[in-house]
């Protein structure tokens, strides 16, 4: 298999949809890939938006890190490809 085309945007495309769910800006959170272990900001994920939902993939290994589906009365966030998310918080 070789790459034919790759129509993605960066993780900043997740800012609005995630702001609907979380009280903080999630694009500056650091995610760790459950596939390859690489760490990086949510804003650096590869986001495929021409799909039934938003699909965010690891820029290193293509593993699906996040699936976000917005229905009329629910949002589904599937994070099984993300081992952890470190979310910057205001100092207490």
Residues 6+ apart with CB under 8 A from 36: 58, 60, 61, 63
Instruction: Kindly write out the interface string for residues 33-72 of this chain, putting x where it contacts Zn ion by CB under 5 A and - elsewhere.
Output: x-xx-x-------------------x-xx-x---------
Interface with another protein (CB under 8 A): 1-8, 48, 50-53, 55, 57, 62, 64, 67-69, 71-72, 74-76, 78
Phi, psi (degrees; rounded to nearest 5) at 22 = -105, 150
Q: CB atoms < 10 A from the CB of 30, how many?
A: 14
What's the min distance (Å) between Cβ of 41 and another protein? 20
Residue with smaller CB distance to Zn ion, 70 or 83? 83
């Amino acid at each position: 298999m070789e790459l034919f085309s790759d129509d993605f945007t960066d993780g900043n495309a997740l800012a609005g949809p995630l702001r609907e769910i979380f009280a903080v800006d999630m694009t500056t959170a650091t995610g760790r890939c459950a596939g390859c272990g690489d760490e990086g900001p949510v804003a650096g994920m590869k986001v495929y938006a021409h799909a039934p939902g938003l699909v965010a993939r690891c820029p290193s290994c293509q593993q699906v890190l996040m699936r976000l589906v917005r229905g009329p009365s629910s949002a589904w966030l599937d994070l099984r490809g993300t081992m952890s998310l470190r979310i910057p918080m205001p100092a207490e």
